[in-house]
Every structure is written in C-alpha cells, then in structure tokens.
A and B are shown apart, each in its own frame.
Chain A
Amino acid sequence: MEENAIVRAEGLRKTFTLSQKQQKLEKTAEKRKVAVDGLSFSAYRGEIYGLLGPNGAGKTTTLRILSTLIRPDEGDAFVGGCSVLREGEKVRDKIGFMTSELKLEGFFTPSYLFDFFGAMHGVGKDALAARKQELFSRFGIDRFAEVKVSDLSTGMLQKVSLVVAIVHDPEVVIFDEPTNGLDVLTAKVVTDFLIELKNMGKSILLSTHIFSLVEKLCDRVGVIIDGRMAAEGTLEELCGGCSLEDKFFEIYRNIKGEIV
C-alpha cells in the first residue's frame, strides 16, 4: 500500500520559541513548545484523509510543513515523491493549499485572480482558459467572474478561493479546517466541493476537530494528540462499531488521563 501513498510524513518534529507573553498565556516556564513530535503517516491516492485533533494538537503545523510554508526541525515529508525540504517548488506545484489565513486581494476580480494564480503555477494560456470555463461554470462563479472579490458574498468568496487554489489542477488538495467559521450554507458549499474533488480523482488531506465532518467525508483518519499520532485507520478499523466521538475521547482519556 505504501507505494500508493501520495503524501508521506516521516518523523516530523517542529518546535516554536514562545515569547514571554505566550509563556504567560500558556502558563509555562518552557521557552520552546513542541507543536509536532515525531509524526508519521501516509495518505493514499484518491482518498480523503483527515487529521483529527483538538485545538493546539499540531494539525495546522503539520499541514503548513506539507505545504512548505514552514520547515520541520526533524524528519521530512513527501508529496508525490518530492521532499518538502529539498524540492519546495515542485511540492507547491503538486498541491492546492486552502486555509482561512490565505486571502485574495479584494480589489481584483475572480477572473483576474484565476489567471494570475494560473500564471504563478506556470499554467499555459489555452489550458488556463479551458480550466477557467470548466471550474467557473461547475461552481457557478461565471456570473460573478468580473465582480470585485471585495463585493462577493461569503459563500461565493469561499468558492472563488477554492477554485483559485486548484487552478493548476494539483494532485493533492490540502485543506486546513475546511468549515471553520462558515455558516451552514457556505459549509455545505465546501463539503460538496471536497466530494466533487474526490470524484475528480484528487487526493485530499484535511484537518478538523469536527467529528461529523470526518464521518461524512474521510476514507481514513489520523488522530493527533499533543503532536503525536495517537491512532490511525479507516473509520471501521478505528471505531469498531462505536461512534467516532466516543472512540476519540477514549483515546484522549488513555493518553491525557482526563478530558479537561
């Protein structure tokens, strides 16, 4: 099965220096915080893989390492066989990374931004035009193609962000907390989009703390607690008949000893 892995993390470790303010907030005297601690996992082609964990478990840090925005202190990760440490540019061409932290310039139109980010990924003009037509009509953006991004509704803006992130037809789509902070309608747009992407043959890696989202979307799930992989497998393998929520808190209690 390993040869079918499109994303492979091997012993990832990442620590951050805490400022005095952060030390006070976290009520610790430690100057460094371990965000990810020897994390290894594999996501396979064509599946939706979910990283499930509470806030601060290291999910976002892991996804940032995979998208080459930050470097691990130890270990390495591979996307489509390319190392995030040594082949950052190749990795970025293979992924579409979506997170609420990445924004689109409100001054421009969806059409302009699609072309701009297409050029950033080196997509040819003809291919770009064809892809724009296909994606814009599939997600209903075509009517708003020439409207400034700042004038779009939240749902439409989310659609545009998603479409722009996959302008270069990436093999892997990485999505940090896909439905966080979205209203029910926009959240539906996003989950439908992810299912649509999977049907298009894409491999998807997402992080979340919402059990229902994992149950609805994910083929396999990795439970991260304190930067470590606590459990991994398909929902059946992991839960063995009980609900994901019950299983998660059982794992959490086994590791942390308490819930709060």
Chain B
Amino acid sequence: MKLKALIQKEFQRFFRDPKLIATLVLPGVLIYFIYSLLGSAIWDGEKNYSYDVLVYGASPKVEALFEASFGESLTLTRTEDKENAKAQVKAGSVTALIAFSEDFDNAVSEYDPMSGEKAPAIEIFYRSADDASSAFYTAATSLLSAYEGEISNAFDVNLGGEQYDFSSTSEVVMTILGGLLPFLVVTLIFSSCMSITLESVAGEKERGTLATILVTSVKRTDIALGKVLPLSCIAALGALSSFLGIALSMPKLMGLSLGGMFVEYAFGDYILLLALIVSIVPLIVSAMTAISTYAKSVKEASSYTGVIMIVVMVLSLVSAFLSGIGDWVAVIPVLGTVVAIQTVLEGGAALLIGLIAIGINLVFTALFILLVAKMLGSERIMFGK
C-alpha cells in the first residue's frame, strides 16, 4: 500500500503538470518535423528542378549525353555570344552556361595526354548560391568525369549490365538502421530519463520534500522503488515519443518508403527489441536515481549525469566497430544492450546476446535500487552539509 501510494504520487506529479507532459511529447514531435523537413529539402528539391542551360561552342557527343541523362528537365540553347551568356547566368535568367573549346569532339579524340599540349576544355559558368544552378553544376561535373573516364579507359569495373550487388534494398536498410538506431535509441532514452529523474529525485532532495518522506515509517527500499518504477514508465513513454518521431521521419530523411523499413523484421525481433529497450530504461533511471540521491542539488546531479551521458554515447557509438568480438560484450551494461539492438536490426542471431543483456540490465537495476535505499539511510548523504 505504501509503495502503491509512492508510485501514484510520482504519476500524479507528472501527468497533472502540462509543462512536464510537454517535455515528454515535444522532443518526438520536433524530431519528426525537423527530420521530415530536412528529408524533403534533400530529396524533393533535387527532383523538381528544371535547367535552362546555354551552350557556347559545340559537342554533339556531350550534348547528347546531357540530354539523355537529364531528360526533359534540361533545355539546351545554343549561343554565339559568350560574354552575353555569362551575363545572363550572373543575372540568374538562365541556370548555367557550358562553353566548349573549339572543335571539342575532334580535339578530344585526337588528343594525346603525353604530348604536353593543352587539353581541350569545358567551362561551366554557374551560381553556387542558386539551388538549381548549384545542383546542375554538381550533376554535370560528375557526368563529365564519368564521360572522361569512359573515353580514355584502360579497363572497366562492373559495366557488364549484370547484378553485381547481391544485397537487397531491405538488407541495405537494415545495415543502416543497425548502425544508426541503437545510438539514437540509447541517447534518446538517456535524455528522456535525465530530464525526469533529476527533477524528481535531486529536485525533491534539494527542496526538502524527500526528507519529509524519510520521517515516515515507509521502508527505504520502497522509497527507492517508488521512484525507479514510475519514473521508468514515464521515461519509457518519453523515449517512445522520440523513437516514433525518428522512426516515422527516417524514411523521409533517407528517401525510402515507410513500409520498406519495417516489414523485414520478424515478430520475435520486435519482441526482443521491445524487451531490450524496456529493460535498459529502468537501468538508466535507477543509475540516475542513485546519482540524484547522492548529489546535493539538481545542478550537481546534472553535472554528474552529463559525464555519464558522454560515456554512454561513446559506448553506443563504438558498438558499431565491435561486430564479431563475441557475445561476452553482452555482460557490459548499456554496451551489451546496444550490441544486441544492433544485431537484431541487422538481421543477425541476437536471442542469446539479447537475453544476457536483459538479464544484466535487470541485475544492475536491482543493485542500483539497493544502493539508493542504502543512501537514503545515510545521514552523510541525505543531511550532510
């Protein structure tokens, strides 16, 4: 009954305060909008440009190559007045000017690089501040580099028209997700736990309201559990909000379809992922509760957790370089969970490593709860000046 009242109090404190609810939901909503906008800017922008390009001199081969590559989005117009054409580009009335040196195609075919003579040249005049002009310049230079390689090539690589890459699109997506998401998930869970736990534990200690509970007959372990359990639920909701924000906006950011990202995982994979995420939340919350109980103020607690956040972020980043090191990494808190999440997302066999990581998370959570209970009984920590 006492534990139930403690848990209810934490939920009441949180869910009756619109400001705190906003801190829970806002990050997810913001992430979704920012990533979606970013994705639209990257992917939609490139497709919608139409290029009005002037051509000075002539190269039927290159012009044909451009027309084949850009299709209807490109309009090539010949010009005899180079200076006037440059002025038009400068004024922004056309996208770009391509200027070929004299008799370009013949000069290229007859050119001997060993002769020491000046090579035939193409000049592209453009404006980098203009999105369409800049996009055309980037596409045109890469197209010309490929053309240059083709006409003077000694050998070809993968030009036979066969399928050389046997990875399916979904496998590529899984690899990208495997490398990126564990880091994002752990970082989001961490920041979600941080905002909630510091206020609730270090804040209560600083305000003197925790001491009021300590003079009641409630057990110290109940107070510790009464913090860790509800805060874990709240932090999990915060992390879920951020995770949804990322998951829903990621296809837009990467230019993929939503379905392509999620259909490749089996039901068991989802259960394991969920269990891993659910088990790491109380671990982080209990660790932060211990830090917050030890600290004299919210400020002190946030400086301690700042250091731990860096360690956790580094651990979740290095996991990408640890593939194949062995299942023993699962016994390292946080790192084990990150590696397990990564293995699941990459489509590997993650059951054993996942179960070990979940077990380790729960064991460490229990240890941290006992530590918090011990600290709550310590006069030096609770009442030391």
Binding site for B on A (CB under 8 A): 19, 22, 64, 67-71, 89-90, 92-93, 95, 97, 101-105, 107-108, 112, 116-117, 119-122
What is the total number of residues of chain B having a CB less than 8 Å from a CB of chain A? 27
Binding site for A on B (CB under 8 A): 1-2, 4-6, 9, 12-13, 16-17, 204, 207-209, 211-219, 379, 382-383, 385
Smallest Cβ distance from A205 to chain B, in angstroms?
14
Give the distance in Å from the alpha carbon of A119 to the alpha carbon of B5 in the complex. Answer: 6
A92:B217 contact, CB within 8 angstroms:
yes
A104:B216 contact, CB within 8 angstroms:
no
Give the distance in Å from the alpha carbon of A69 to the alpha carbon of B381 in the complex. Answer: 11
User: Please, which residues of chain B bring their CB within 8 A of the CB of A68?
Assistant: 215
Query: If the complex has contacts A107-B13, A108-B12, A119-B1, are A70 and B211 also in contact, measured as CB distance less than 8 A?
Result: no
Give the distance in Å from the alpha carbon of A121 to the alpha carbon of B219 in the complex. Answer: 10
B212:A103 contact, CB within 8 angstroms:
yes
Smallest Cβ distance from B208 to chain A, in angstroms?
4
Q: Which residue on chain A has the smallest CB distance to residue B17?
A: A107
Q: Taking each of B207, B212, B385, which has the highest tally of chain A beta carbons within 10 Å of its own beta carbon?
A: B212
User: Please, which residues of chain A bring their CB within 8 A of the CB of B13?
Assistant: 105, 107-108
Give the distance in Å from the alpha carbon of A67 to the alpha carbon of B5 in the complex. Answer: 22
The 7 closest A-B pairs by CB, nearest first: A119-B5, A103-B208, A120-B216, A70-B379, A93-B217, A102-B212, A92-B217
User: Please, which residues of chain B bring their CB within 8 A of the CB of A117?
Assistant: 212, 216
User: Please, which residues of chain B bring their CB within 8 A of the CB of A19?
Assistant: 385
Smallest Cβ distance from A171 to chain B, in angstroms?
13
B204:A122 contact, CB within 8 angstroms:
no
B207:A105 contact, CB within 8 angstroms:
yes
Given contacts A102-B211, A102-B215, A105-B207, 14 further A-B contacts (CB under 8 A): A22-B385, A67-B215, A69-B379, A90-B217, A92-B216, A101-B211, A102-B212, A103-B207, A103-B208, A104-B212, A116-B9, A119-B1, A121-B217, A122-B2
B211:A122 contact, CB within 8 angstroms:
no
Contact partner of A69 (CB less than 8 A), chosen from B17, B209, B214, B218, is B214
Give the distance in Å from the alpha carbon of A239 to the alpha carbon of B228 in the complex. Answer: 55
Give the distance in Å from the alpha carbon of A119 to the alpha carbon of B222 in the complex. Answer: 13
Smallest Cβ distance from A120 to chain B, in angstroms?
4
Query: If the complex has contacts A71-B379, A119-B5, A122-B1, are A105 and B214 also in contact, measured as CB distance less than 8 A?
Result: no
B208:A102 contact, CB within 8 angstroms:
yes
Pull 23 A–B residue pairs with CB atoms less than 8 Å apart, ordered by A.
Answer: A68-B215, A69-B379, A69-B382, A69-B383, A70-B379, A71-B379, A92-B215, A95-B215, A97-B215, A101-B208, A102-B215, A103-B212, A104-B212, A107-B13, A107-B17, A108-B9, A117-B216, A119-B1, A120-B213, A120-B217, A120-B218, A121-B217, A122-B217
